[in-house]
Amino acid sequence: METRTVRLGDFSTFVNEKCYLNEASRNTYVSTENLKPNRLGVFFPITKLPQTNKVNTFAKGDILIANIRPYFKKIWHANIAGTHSTDVLNIRSNSKQLLQSYLAVVLSNDRFFDYMMATSKGTKMPRGDKKAIMDFKFELPSFKDQIIISDSISVINQKIELNRQINKNLLQMMENCYRKMLKNAIYNHQSKQSNILTVADNIITGKTPSTKNPSYYGGDTPFITIPDMQGNVFVTVTKKRLTQSGTSVQQNKEIPALSLNVSCIGTVGLVTINPTVAHTNQQINSVIVSKDKLWELFFELRSLKGVMENMASGGTTILNMNKAIFSKLQINLLSPAIRKQFNAYANPIFEQILINDEQNHKLAKVRDLLLPKLLAGQIDLSNLEGAIQNA
């Protein structure tokens, strides 16, 4: 594959188009909050819109990249139009020689994110340098090869997006089912309100091992933080993982598989499930419950996001719902008979959601293995299908 080295700023530009806030929607607004790490796209709706007069807009096909902490690799090749925050970069090809979909492939590569980090400003909250970003250099192949490469990556991304949409629909279906059954149960006196402490086998507040000790990190045990929870039902992949040394200094902080993790500091009210044994940081309270109560409590806790935010406010700007406050939470419980009926619906649905999640992360791994090889011309494009199968 013949290529030539080009500069990003000579073939693309940052888009800085705006509209009034009343034209924006939570269902199409993109910020660093709802862009997912590790190139897994975006989830909607956003929690809330900003309090500004105008917001940035993006068009279908634009490439949106979180400009804060580039190491999270948050990027989305938009398949709709919408609006976005000022912390999200919008990049668009302005050359007939550069296919927009190929540009999305280039900017999804680790090499670009490594470059963003190397040229970023700030240490605690690194931010990409827009001038330096436009100086990024990459290999530009023929238009025909751009199409082949971008189409091959697009097939994988489309499958990931399809699985995500299926999961979203399955989750909404089950949430509607739960709400209807709970409403009928309350009406027929087949439910009761209980304190979370009486329902949980245990509540564990996480802790972070010293980040100054590298021997604590890079192992096999998932270490869940709030960014890992965003837009997920199951946390199947985490940015950080703990070694045996890391878990050994976390006495009584291990959470068993199929626990409910609730974000309680800063971003309050996210609820996820860990499919395997894990640890969390101090911003998360994990509710250990019996398997038969897991699904109903998942939906019940999700429905109490507003209640939890009010409990966590305490008159301060940073929400903080510590374990003592969290333990005062009141929840609805179905009767055993209604719970058994609900679980008959929920069990296979949640199993399918987990299967789709795990498949998506396998697909993402294949895509991320192929990306640098495709861009470096190390794969024979005439046998791309075989390369994908062997990745």
114-135 confidence digits (pLDDT tens)? 999 999 999 888 999 999 999 9
**pLDDT, mean of residues 49-56:** 95
- pLDDT at site 24: 96
Q: What is the predicted pLDDT for the residue at 382?
A: 67
pLDDT at 391 over 70: no
Q: Which domains does the chain have, with CATH numbers?
A: 3-141 (3.90.220.20), 191-334 (3.90.220.20)
The pLDDT confidence band at residue 315, using thresholds 50, 70 and 90, is low
377: left (phi over 0), alpha (psi -120 to 50) or beta: left
Q: State the pLDDT at residue 297.
A: 97
Q: What is the pLDDT of residues 135-153, one digit of tens each?
A: 999 999 999 999 999 998 9
Enter the pTM of the model: 0.83
pLDDT of residue 313: 77
pLDDT(10) > 80: yes
Among residues of the chain, what percentage have pLDDT more than 90? 82
Among candidate residues 129, 132, 14, the one with its CA nearest the CA of residue 64? 14
Give the per-residue pLDDT at 333: 95
**The pLDDT of residue 388:** 58
Share of residues in the chain with pLDDT > 70 (%): 96
Q: What is the CB-side half-sphere exposure of residue 161 using CA atoms within 13 A?
A: 15
- pLDDT at position 358 is 94
Residue pair 277/257 in contact (Cβ under 8 Å)? The answer is: yes
Average pLDDT over residues 208-225: 96
Quick one: pLDDT at residue 383? 63
Give the pLDDT of residue 384.
60
CA 66 – CA 242 distance, rounded (Å):
26
State the chain's mean pLDDT as an integer: 93
Q: What is the pLDDT of residue 65?
A: 98
For residue 314, is pLDDT > 80? no
Inform me whether the pLDDT recorded for 338 exceeds 80.
yes
Is residue 355 a contact partner of residue 170, using CB atoms and an 8 Å limit? no
Inform me whether the pLDDT recorded for 305 exceeds 60: yes
pLDDT digits (tens, 9 = 90+) for 59-102: 999 999 999 999 999 999 999 999 999 999 999 999 999 999 99
What is the side-by-side strand order in the sheet with 217-224? 240-242, 217-224, 279-280
Cα distance between residue 22 and residue 43, in whole Å: 21
Instruction: Count CB atoms within 10 A of the CB of residue 172.
Output: 10
Q: Are the C-beta atoms of 216 and 249 separated by less than 8 Å?
A: yes
The residue to which tokens 């940015």 are assigned: 239
| Contact by Cβ (8 Å): 193, 328 | no
Q: Is the pLDDT confidence value at 245 over 70?
A: yes
Average pLDDT score over residue span 338-354: 97
End-to-end CA distance of the chain: 19
